[in-house]
Amino acid sequence: MSGFGNPSEIGVAQYLLMTIEEIGDGTALLPHTRGYFPGAPNTFDANGRLGTDLLTCIIDSIGGMTSGLASLPDWIVTTNLMIRRAPDSLTGNHGTGALTLDTHVLRRGRSSVVTRVDTADASGATVATAWMSCAILVPTNGPPPFNRPVKPFDRAVPNDPIFDTPPHEFFNLSAGSTPGLVSLTVDQRLRNPWGILHGGASAVVLDAAARSLVVGRPTAEATPEAIVTDLAVHYLSPGRVGPVVASATTTGHRGQDHLVRVEVRDQGSDNRLMALAMTTVRSLD
């Protein structure tokens, strides 16, 4: 589920510090929002580029919130998320620095919402295009509280040094004993307002597992020699206990591109399957 409640309750949002504004007067049946991600040195790689792990986090956050606006007075849970990075944004000057996310609800049915997110850099060059589908449900305590139209607001970052760390530290990632195996320890800061693991956190751990497999070494950290270019995630069940473990297997490759399948499981909940993903990992050497 994608949550967008009190900023003090969403540690992932405090870490990313993206602002979101609803376009229009807040009465549109198919809402349109725009997000601005300024970034911080600890969130970018050495070239000033956002990894696909955090890119997925901000897309999931704004896409989920915008889908939720279309579902009021109910709310949503993300079921599928697909991202394709623009080839020109993977190297060179394009795709670096601050990002803008233009988000449109394409369809609102009786039980589901389909939303598109277009991400661009400061020059207007396309960084990524994403589509997500969400199921509409009735949340136990009602939808998150906010006023329409949604306006940007300041997110107070806790006085905790963990918010200044690179992604693998903030998301409690640990490398497994073999390439393609990465675990995430569930902490309160990684939960959404409903107490379950933020959808973006699942994407972070599976992204790390896919890259680890392709580079051929156990690691949960950034890999300058490889990046996920395409991602299709199917969310099957929420993460509640942890550790959450992502395991990756190769299904084929062509040239620099490797097709990698990833399973994400909650070991603390009877090893329940949380998500399945197909990724394309590109070797940049």
pLDDT of residue 7: 43
| Distances in whole angstroms, Cα of residue 242 to Cα of each of 34, 205, 268 | 33, 12, 5
**Which residues lie across from 234 on neighbouring strands?**
80, 276
Nearest to 59 by CA among 188, 184, 163, 203: 203
At residue 276's C-alpha, the angle toward residues 215 and 227, to 5°, is 30
Q: Does any domain span residue 44? A: yes
> In this structure, is residue 2 part of a structural domain?
no
Q: What's the rounded mean pLDDT across residues 219-244?
A: 96
Q: 167: which residues sit within 8 A by CB, 6+ positions away? A: 43, 51, 53, 54, 173, 204, 222
Question: For 253-274, how does the pLDDT look when each residue is reduced to its tens digit (9 = 90+)?
Answer: 999 999 999 999 999 999 999 9
Which of 119, 40, 83 lies closest to 228 in space, CA to CA?
Answer: 83
pLDDT digits (tens, 9 = 90+) for 178-231: 999 999 999 999 998 778 999 899 999 999 999 999 999 999 999 999 999 999
The verdict on residue 129 lying in a domain is yes
Q: What is the mean pLDDT of residues 244-259?
A: 96
Instruction: Provide the sign of the torsion angle of the four alpha carbons 87, 93, 98, 101, taken in this order.
Output: negative
Domain contains 1? no
Query: Which are the contacts of 137, defined by CB distance < 8 A and separation ≥ 6?
Result: 74, 75, 76, 77
Instruction: Provide the residue range defining the domain that includes 248.
Output: 7-139+147-283
162 lies in some domain? yes
- Tokens (6 digits) for 132: 């997500």
pLDDT band at 241 (very low <50, low <70, confident <90, very high): very high
Enumerate residues 6+ apart whose C-beta is below 8 A from 32: 22, 23, 24, 66, 102, 103, 104, 105
pLDDT interval class at 106 (50, 70, 90): very high
| Residue 196: inside a domain | yes
Q: Phi/psi at 235 (nearest 5 deg)? A: -85, 120
- Whether 152 is in a domain gets the answer yes
DSSP-derived secondary structure for 203-234:
HHHHHHHHHHHHHTS---S--TTEEEEEEEEE
pLDDT digits (tens, 9 = 90+) for 69-83: 999 999 999 999 999
Tell me, what's the pLDDT at 277? 98
Q: Rounded to 10 degrees, what is the CA torsion of 24, 25, 28, 34?
A: 40
Q: How far is CA 113 from the centre of its chain?
A: 18
The count of structural domains within the chain is: 1
**What is the CATH number for 40?**
2.40.160.210
